[in-house]
Amino acid sequence: MRKFITGSLFILIPAIILFTASCTAGSCFEETESYLKATFYVNATLAAPDSLTLYGLNNDSLIYNKTVNVQPALMPLNALTESSSFVIQVNGISDTIEFHYTSYSHLISKECGYTYYHQLDTLPRFTKHFIKDIYTGNKTITNLNVENIRIFY
């Protein structure tokens, strides 16, 4: 019986060491989501709206609900489609914005895995109730904190 226990320990201890060493969790400290980043301007001055409501059209996803001082607004694009539309309401007045883009997968790191990046194909289409103009800066939408569009209202 004593030989059985000693022999079992020689197998059990290395197995435990290998198991714990192989399960070392890596940490992901990077942003993993890619959002279209929209900043708001009144004339040529950076100005966050007093009240922002933003939701996806045709998917009922409320992103902001009468939120104050949002700068920039983060809009999630659907990687499974080639376009996304949003209803944006600033200070009680609504407009619709539509984006057309191409999505592609991008490896962030071994710990963080993959995400989708997007490339804007055309200028965004929008209604003009409160939006005066939209300027498209960086057309590549990544997980970096880089402005993609400017909304002048």
CB 39 within 8 A of CB 52: no
How confident is the model at residue 27, as a pLDDT?
86
Q: What is the pTM of this model?
A: 0.78
CB 82 within 8 A of CB 100: yes
pLDDT digits (tens, 9 = 90+) for 58-101: 877 899 999 999 999 999 999 999 999 999 999 899 999 999 99
The amino acid sitting at 66 is K
Rounded Cα distance, 30 and 125, in Å: 32
Residue 19's H or E segment, with its range, is helix 2-22
Query: Which residues are CB-neighbours of 101 under 8 A, at least 6 positions away?
Result: 77, 82, 83, 84, 118, 119, 120, 121, 141
CB burial of residue 99 (10 Å; 0-12, 13-18, 19+): buried
Q: What is the band of 18 on the pLDDT scale with cuts at 50, 70, 90?
A: low
Q: What is the mean pLDDT of the chain?
A: 88
